[in-house]
A and B are shown apart, each in its own frame.
Chain A
Amino acid sequence: MNWYKACVRSSWVFAGFSVLVMIGLLVNLIASRTASVIPPTRVEQKVFELNLNPQDEALRQKVLAQDLAIRQAFFRARSIAETGLALLAFGAFGFLVSLEAARRLRPSVPIPKPDEPEAQWMRYALAQRGVWGLTLVLGGGLAALATLSRHDTVAAFAQRAVVVPPKPEPEASAASPKATPVPLPPLQALAPATPPAMGAPLPTLPGSVPALVGGVGTQLVPIQPLGVPAALAGPTPEAMAAAAARPLPSIQPVGPAGAQRQWAAFRGYGGWGLGEADFNPDMLANLNVAWKTPVALPGWGSPVVWDDRVYLHAANQERREVYAFDLQNGRQLWSVAVPLTPQSGPMSQSMETGYAPATPVTDGNVVVVCFVNADVAGVSVDGRLLWQRSFGPVDNKYGHSSSLAMAEGLVFVQVDHGYDAQAGVSRLYALDAQTGRTVWEARRLSIASWAGPVTYRLGDRTVVVAVGNPAVEAYDAKTGEVLWRTDVMSGEVAPGPGVGEGLVVVGTSGSMLSGLRADTGEVLWQTHEALMPDIASKIIAPAGLFVVSVDGTLSKLDPKTGRIRWEDRLPKPIRASPIWFNGRVLVVDQEGTLFVVDAAEAPRRVAERALGESVSATPAVTGANLLVRTQNHLICLRP
């Protein structure tokens, strides 16, 4: 038997087989593209018609049948293609093998053809030319790229680039055992060399300007010395385990007297984000729009409610106003203009912040509002401007946006600004709510941040917690004494803390999520498992800890351990903070769709409601009312 010929013939057979398979596959390809099945667009049209008339059973059956036909045609063609590919691979393999075998079996006699020496030298010379040629081509390529480089674009980048503060070194990061929490620097380095006497004004400090109304500045107390925090161990696993081993303290939300059933501040009572409503949140889709009132000026602050009135403030570059609305019918009761003071900083802002980004606070007698330049004003509930304070100008690239908190008759104003924490320009002010007078102010070792303070009761003490960068600090609400301080923050701190279950949970996209003991600030756990919140504040509800990232991911974690339980990716970005009421989490995305999520073992969206307008403000819940501030309106939903 002549094996060479056999191999040649085999290769022809394989080649013929391959050609046949090729033809079959091409026919299949053409058929699948030109088949006379119903085009999907026509099915879509039918589906549209079915949505208009969902009871039409005949139409439904027709849609299903057409849908099935399309699927069958598609998968049939795909199945043929897959089989054909396998056959083609087989044919190709057989062809190559038989051809290679034929080549090997072909009888041939090798004929030596040594190189002539001259030819070798010629080859070297030609090789040189090749290398030169390609080098020149590459040089030309580089020159072309250099010409194409858009140096004007680079110059435009340089003009617009902001100086990004250097990222903290790993040793200084929140995860470092050395850094968290740290003992406070020596008092001499922070406190003024000569503390001002009682009653003396503080002309060099922002915020100590005279008030228009109310005699502010007459009862100033010296800057409170930064109290020495409790002796804390670093957050080594052992230290965290030791901190977790002790029972967590009992804490309760605290606010103005009688505020428990109101929605008197950002995220409700104490700023914890927890509420109670006289309606079932699962029936969100069935709630009626009780009223929808246009708001004259823009603002991102949330509405606050006390009894039958809703308060709101808004501003643009020329006007700043506070409004009161009737909760029952949405009628605007009054508006008060808040003028600039001689000490006001410029009303500059970024697109994201607006001119009135913070949420007001009220105790039923006075409504206190804050603007982007850190101007604070007290307005009586009947619409009279009582007092004004100016804490600007603030060195803060997005503008001042920290919401206000109130407890023990004091309004807490967190003014974190500047980009050098050791410069000590940041302050937490406690103002008398009725007069605007500074009762105490605490110097903070924090750079610019945008979160607002929250309050809670710990034993017989009322505590204010303010989150900055890098420090989270807890103060005695009455005296301003620093109770503890823990350095766990970095990045741009906009989300407020979650408070509850004896914990304070802090974190932003530039730092880890950290669980701190509410009594000592000791770190119980740290994690970066969850998608970090960039803007929205956290809530600790009976069901767990909830965080919302700006891309719309709602995460549930165990507040005791920081372990993530589940994540639910909502369809649109979210800026507003979540709230908890009646056993459900309520979130609203930037396009104005409200979602009620059953926060059990797995996320289940039980209701949703589109408002049709952009929303950045956190909703308010009180009684039978759900209030949402959209871009241009204030909307009240009610059963």
Chain B
Amino acid sequence: MRRSLLALVTGWAGTAWSQSAQVAQPPPDFGGMYQIPQMTTPPPRADIFGVIDVLVLALGLALTAWIVHRRRSRKELYVVALFGALYFGFYRLGCVCAVGSIQNVALALGDPTYRLPWTVAAFFALPLVAALFWGRVFCAGVCPLGAIQELVLLKPLRVPSWLDSGLGLLPYIYLGVGVLFAYTGAAFFICEYDPFIGIYRLSAPYTMVFVSLGFLLLSVFVGRPYCRWLCPYGVLLRWCAPFAKKQVRITPSECVMCHLCASSCPYEAIKAPTPTGKTPDFVRLRRMATGAVLLLVLGIPLFGWLGWLAGPALSREHYAVITAEEMLLVEQGQEPGNLAESFLQTGQDPGIAYAEAMRVVERFQYGGALLGAWIALVAGLMLLLELRKAKRKEYEADPGGCYACARCFPACPVGKDRLIHLEVLK
């Protein structure tokens, strides 16, 4: 049965992509008889649609919060997530989105000539503000990237905790890389490699087709792989959600320690009560703490130094550096690439291109050093925080890691009874 399912899903996705590629292929060259129509620039999108997008986002957040905290209904949340995928995904083609807006904010900080559109600022800020009040309701019902993973999750498998924790470091790194590339004006890395945007747009480069297929397939068996192990915006939400005024509560009554909620959570976001009785191995614990502190003390300068050295390699994504490299090749007698050709046509002194490339490389060296230090800092803190002795008396949703998907609500036997008692489920 599982194999059949796998084959079917693979077949669907493969056929859809091959056909969408056919739809997207350019019209054939009809030869000299065909008059190519004059290229026109479409008018910019009317401002009112931006207002509508922000309103839909705000309403979606409020509605999700109401469903999660008051209605406690998984079904209703499912409908909202479906709407999020349809509106922000298929209709708005995944743009503007809160995840990508991080880069706009970074670019606005790095480039004073770039003006941050207010709609993008709103998409960046509103989910974070909502997280400060109600937890990660954005992930639960509004985010199109989260929604598509939520909707295709059919057979959730448990991921080994060592792998889950290790991969949990990746979103921080992705955030650092995305901010570095956007701040320096090199690329909007997070958008460029968004695995689900091609699905919403039915068009993507072939490499991204395979990445999307991989994520889609993985999402059938693993809960929200992108949200858990890549999403850079999730990092910000993870920071904000623990301060939420209203946290997700698994049971409205007293926990009976049945563990059913933890079993129902595909995201490993429900933490068991703190073990009592048997004391941990303190020698081992101290060794782990020492390792974490050493990583912080030695790793930050070491990784920072490596990042500084890696700066020139990272800067090769920036057009100014690519231009200068192409100019060097021209000097060696090779044909100019597109960027070098464009630059030469401006009639400017090639020295200006090299000077600009130098400036960019320098920015990447500083940025690379910060990125390296950031990796060591996050890893060290994660190791230390794992050792925290929590004081949980019952099963609780991890406020940072819980996507407020409401799967645990119907799984809780006490909750069900209480809701029936309150005549909500009748």
Which of B11, B31, B295, B348 is within 8 Å of A22, CB to CB? B11
Bound complex: CA A550 to CA B288 (Å): 64
* Distance of A110 Cα from B288 Cα, bound (Å): 37
Report whether A15 and B275 are in contact in the complex, using a CB–CB cutoff of 8 Å.
no
Indicate if the CB atoms of A71 and B30 lie closer than 8 Å: yes
Q: Mark A581-594, 1 if CB is under 8 A from B, else 0.
A: 00000000000000
Task: Let me know if A535 and B258 touch, CB within 8 A.
Answer: no
* Most B Cβ at <10 Å: residue of A19, A130, A535: A130
Partner of B325, one of A21, A146, A153: A153
Q: What residues of B have a CB within 8 angstroms of the CB of A28 in the complex?
A: 19
Q: Report chain B residues within 8 Å CB of A230.
A: none
Which chain B residue shows the least CB distance to A142?
B306
Quick one: closest B residue to A492, CB to CB? B348
In the complex the two chains form, is A85's CB within 8 Å of B30's CB? no
At the interface, yes or no: A36 with Cβ under 8 Å from chain B?
no
- What separation, in Å, do the CA atoms of A398 and B349 have in the docked complex? 8
Asked whether B387 is an interface residue with its Cβ less than 8 Å from the other chain, the reply is: yes
Given A96-B154, A117-B278; A131-B169 close (CB under 8 Å): yes
Q: Closest Cβ of chain A: how far from B313's Cβ, in Å?
A: 4
Q: Interface with B: A118-126, A262-270, A518-526, which one? A: A118-126
Residues A32 and B22 in contact, CB atoms below 8 Å apart: yes
Which of A96, A120, A130, A159 contacts B162 (CB under 8 A)? A130
A157: chain B residues within 8 A (beta carbon): 324, 354-355, 357-358, 361
Instruction: Determine whether the beta carbon of A130 is less than 8 Å from that of B163.
Output: yes
Residues of B within 8 A of A550 (CB): 345-347
Tell me the bound Cα distance from A216 to B357 in angstroms: 48
| Closest-CB distance, B121 to chain A (whole angstroms) | 22
Contact A18 B8 (CB under 8 A): yes
What's the tally of chain B residues with a CB closer than 8 Å to chain A? Answer: 90
Across the interface, which residues of A come within 8 angstroms of B170, CB to CB? 134
Let me know if B22 and A77 touch, CB within 8 A.
yes
A133 lies within 8 A of B166 (CB): yes
CA distance A568 to B310 in the complex (A): 45
Instruction: Evaluate contact between A163 and B19: CB separation under 8 angstroms.
Output: no
Whether B379 contacts A135 by the Cβ 8 Å rule is yes
Would you call A156 and B349 a contact (CB within 8 A)?
no
Cβ contacts B158-188/A at 8 Å (1 or 0 each): 0011111111111001000000000000000
Interface check A145, CB cutoff 8 A: yes
Query: Is there a chain A Cβ closer than 8 Å to B23's Cβ?
Result: yes
Chain A interface, number of residues (Cβ within 8 angstroms): 92
A84 to B351, CA, bound (A): 55
Interface presence of A487 (CB below 8 A): no
Q: A70: CB under 8 A from chain B?
A: yes
Judge if B338 is at the interface, Cβ distance under 8 Å: no
CB contact between A40 and one of B29, B262, B375 (< 8 Å): that residue: B29
Give the interface segment out of A43-51, A190-198, A606-614.
Answer: A43-51
CB of B16 within 8 Å of the partner chain: yes
Residue on B nearest A569 in the bound complex, by CB: B39
Q: Which residues of chain B from 305 to 352 have a CB within 8 Å of any chain A CB?
A: 306-307, 309-314, 324-325, 328, 345-352
B272 within 8 A of A: yes
Query: Which residues of the partner chain B approach A64 to less than 8 Å between Cβ atoms?
Result: 33
Q: Which residues of B contact A127 (CB under 8 A)?
A: 161-162, 164-166, 386
Residues in A with CB closer than 8 Å to B151 are 96
Chain A at the B interface: SS class: helix
Contact of A99 among B154, B277, B354 (CB under 8 A): B154
Give the distance in Å from the alpha carbon of A77 to the alpha carbon of B372 in the complex.
51
B191 touches A (CB below 8 Å):
no
Interface pair A143/B306, CB less than 8 Å apart? yes
The answer, yes or no, to whether A162 is at the interface (CB within 8 Å) is yes
Cα-based distance from A115 to B346 in the complex (angstroms): 69
**A246 interfacial by beta-carbon distance below 8 Å:** no
State how many angstroms separate the Cβ of A28 from the closest Cβ of chain B. Answer: 8
Q: Is the CB of B328 within 8 A of A153?
A: yes
With a cutoff of 8 Å between Cβ atoms, the chain A residues found around residue B166 in the complex are 127, 129-134
State in angstroms the CA–CA spacing of A129 and B258 once bound together.
Answer: 29
Q: Is A189 an interface residue (CB 8 A)?
A: no
- Closest chain-B Cβ to A7's Cβ sits at a distance in Å of 13
A134 to B299, CA, bound (A): 13
For the complex, is B20 an interface residue (Cβ under 8 Å from A)? yes
Majority secondary structure of chain B interface residues (helix, strand, loop or mixed): helix
> Closest Cβ of chain B: how far from A230's Cβ, in Å?
34
Q: Is B313 a contact partner of A148 (Cβ separation < 8 A)?
A: yes
Our pick among A85, A154, A352, A534 for the contact of B20 (Cβ within 8 Å) is A85
* A188 CB-CB contact with B under 8 Å: no
Smallest CB–CB gap between B231 and chain A, Å? 16
Set of chain B residues within 8 Å of A492, measured between Cβ atoms: 348
CB atoms of B165 and A67 under 8 A apart: no
Cβ < 8 Å to B, chain A residues 98-117: 99-100, 103, 110, 112-115, 117
Report yes or no: A120 in contact with B272, Cβ–Cβ below 8 A. yes
Q: How far is A105 from B169 in the complex, measured between Cα atoms in Å?
A: 37
Residue among B8, B173, B299, B387 with max Cβ neighbours from chain A (10 Å):
B8
Which of B32, B164, B295, B413 is within 8 Å of A130, CB to CB? B164
CB of A88 within 8 A of CB of B15, answer: yes
- Minimum CB distance partner of A33 in chain B: B22
Interfacial chain A residues near B281, Cβ < 8 Å: 121
Whether B354 pairs with A160 at a CB distance below 8 angstroms is: yes
Does A129 lie within 8 Å of B162, measured CB to CB? yes
B306 closest partner in A (C-beta): A142
| A-contact bits for B1-44, CB 8 A (1 contact / 0 none) | 00010001001100110111011000111111110000000000
* Most chain B CB neighbours (cut-off 10 Å) among A153, A154, A157: A157
Query: Could you mark each residue 264-300 of chain B with 1 if its beta carbon is under 8 Å from any beta carbon of chain A, else 0?
Result: 0000000010011110110010001001000100010
Q: A161 near B: Cβ within 8 Å?
A: yes
The answer to whether A78 has its CB under 8 Å from any CB of chain B is yes
B386 pairs with A131, CB closer than 8 A? yes
CA distance A568 to B288 in the complex (A): 69
Asked whether, in the complex, the Cβ of B12 is within 8 Å of the Cβ of A149, the reply is: no
Q: Is B152 among interface residues, defined by CB-CB distance under 8 A? A: yes
Task: Quote the shortest CB–CB distance from A69 to chain B (angstroms).
Answer: 11
Q: Are B30 and A124 in contact (CB under 8 A)?
A: no
For B344-383 the 0/1 string (1 means CB < 8 A from A) is 0111111110111110010000000000100110010011
Whether B51 sits at the interface, judged by CB under 8 Å, is no
Decide: B258 and A114 in contact? CB cutoff 8 A.
Answer: yes
Q: Does B257 contact A (CB under 8 A)?
A: yes
Given A96-B152, A150-B312; A74-B28 close (CB under 8 Å):
yes
> Does B79 interact with chain A (Cβ within 8 Å)?
no
With A161-B358, A398-B349 known to touch, is A149 a contact of B8 (CB < 8 Å)? no
Contact B28 A70 (CB under 8 A): yes
Interface pair B383/A142, CB less than 8 Å apart: no
What CA separation (Å) do A100 and B78 show in the bound complex? 12
Point out the residues of chain A lying under 8 angstroms from B306, CB to CB.
Answer: 139, 142-143, 145-146
Which A residues touch B34, using CB under 8 A?
67
Given contacts A130-B162, A131-B382, A139-B302, 15 further A-B contacts (CB under 8 A): A22-B15, A26-B15, A48-B32, A81-B23, A84-B19, A110-B413, A113-B263, A128-B165, A128-B288, A128-B386, A129-B162, A132-B291, A134-B170, A135-B375, A157-B354
Name 18 A/B residue pairs within 8 A (Cβ), A-sorted: A29-B19, A32-B22, A82-B23, A89-B16, A121-B281, A126-B160, A127-B166, A128-B291, A132-B291, A132-B383, A138-B173, A145-B310, A146-B307, A154-B358, A157-B355, A164-B356, A352-B347, A550-B347
Lowest 6 CB-CB distances: which A-B pairs, in order? A130-B166, A162-B351, A117-B275, A146-B309, A127-B165, A145-B310
- A residues apposed to B, CB below 8 Å: 15, 18-19, 21-22, 25-26, 28-29, 32, 40, 43-44, 46-48, 51, 63-64, 67, 70-71, 74, 77-78, 81-82, 84-85, 88-89, 91-92, 95-96, 99-100, 103, 110, 112-115, 117-118, 120-121, 123-135, 138-139, 142-143, 145-146, 148-151, 153-154, 156-164, 350, 352, 397-398, 492, 534-535, 550-551, 573, 575
